[in-house]
Amino acid sequence: MTANPTRLGAIREIEANEAPAAFFDVAEETGSVFGENVFSLSVMQKRLPRSVYRSVAATIQKGERLDPAVADIVAKEMKDWAMEKGVTHYAHVFYPLTGLTAEKHDSFMEPVGDGTAVWEFSGKTLVQGEPDASSFPNGGIRATFEARGYTGWDVQSPAYILENPNGNTLCIPTIFVSMTGEALDHKTPLLRSQAAMSQQAQRVLALFGHKDIDNVVSYCGPEQEYFLVDTSFVNSRPDLLNTGRTLFGARPPKGQEFDDHYFGAIPERVLGFMHDTERALFKLGVPAKTRHNEVAPGQFEIAPVFERANLASDHQQLLMSTFRSIAKQHGFECLFHEKPFAGVNGSGKHVNFSFGNGNQGNFLSPGDNPHDNAQFLVFCAAIVRAVHLHGGLLRLSIASAGNDHRLGANEAPPAIISIFLGDQLADVFDQVAKAGGATSSKQKGVLSVGVDTLPDLTKDAGDRNRTSPFAFTGNRFEFRAAGSNQTVAAPMTVINTIMAEALDFCATELEAATAAGTEFNEAVQTLLKKIIEDHGAVIFNGNGYSEEWHAEAEQRGLKNLRTTVDALPEYLTPESRALFSTYGVFDEAELESRFEVGVEQYVMTINVEANLTVEIAKTTILPAAVRYQTELAGNVAALKAAGVEADTTDLLAVTELVTALRTGLKELTDAQAGAHEHEGIAEAAYHRDAVLPAMLKVREAADALEDVVADDLWSLPTYQEMLFIR
Q: Under a CB-based contact definition with an 8 Å cutoff, are residues 161 and 168 in contact? A: yes
Per-residue confidence at 2, pLDDT binned at 50, 70, 90?
A: very low
Q: Alpha helices, DSSP H only, in 404-546?
A: 422-435, 489-515, 520-535
CA atoms within a 13 Å half-sphere pointing along the CA-CB vector of 300: 22
Q: Which helix (H) or strand (E) holds 55?
A: helix 50-62
Residue 370 has pLDDT above 80, yes or no: no
Provide the β-strand partners of residue 302: 224, 291
Residue 1 has pLDDT above 50, yes or no: no
- The pLDDT of 504-529, averaged and rounded, is 96
CA atoms of 159 and 171, how far apart (whole Å):
6
Q: Each residue of 88-99: pLDDT tens digit? A: 999 999 999 998
Q: Under a CB-based contact definition with an 8 Å cutoff, are residues 353 and 477 in contact? A: yes
Q: Which helix (H) or strand (E) holds 383?
A: helix 374-389
- Exposure letters 406-429 (e unless 16+ CB within 10 A, then b): bbbeebbbbbbbbbbbbebbbbbb
Measure the N-to-C terminal CA separation of the chain; round to a whole number of Å. 23
- The pLDDT of 602-625, averaged and rounded, is 98
Tell me, what amino acid is at 568?
L
Q: Which helix (H) or strand (E) holds 663?
A: helix 649-674
Q: Each residue of 433-486: pLDDT tens digit? A: 777 776 677 777 655 666 666 676 666 656 677 889 999 998 999 999 999 999
Is 477 strand, coil or helix? strand
Q: Under a CB-based contact definition with an 8 Å cutoff, are residues 596 and 683 in contact? A: no
Largest CA distance in the chain: 105
CA angle 435, 531, 415 (to 5 degrees): 125
> pLDDT value at position 460?
67
What pTM value is reported for the model? 0.94
Q: Each residue of 373-430: pLDDT tens digit? A: 899 999 999 999 999 999 999 999 999 999 999 998 778 889 999 999 988 888 888 8
Q: Each residue of 193-223: pLDDT tens digit? A: 999 999 999 999 999 999 989 999 999 999 9
Q: Give the least confident one: 156-160, 230-234, 449-453.
A: 449-453
Q: Under a CB-based contact definition with an 8 Å cutoff, are residues 725 and 14 in contact? A: yes
Question: β-strands 87-94, 102-107: how paired?
Answer: antiparallel
> pLDDT value at position 410?
76
> pLDDT value at position 5?
60
CA atoms of 65 and 311, how far apart (whole Å):
18
Between 566 and 371, the higher pLDDT residue = 566
> pLDDT value at position 345?
94
One-character DSSP codes across 148-214 = BEEEEE-TTS--EEE--TT-EEEEEEEEEEETTS-B-BSHHHHHHHHHHHHHHHHHHHHHTT-SSPP
> pLDDT value at position 146?
78
pLDDT > 90: what percent of the chain? 77
CA atoms of 351 and 491, how far apart (whole Å):
8
Between 166 and 313, the higher pLDDT residue = 313
Look over the chain and give the mean of its residue pLDDT values, rounded to a whole number. Answer: 91
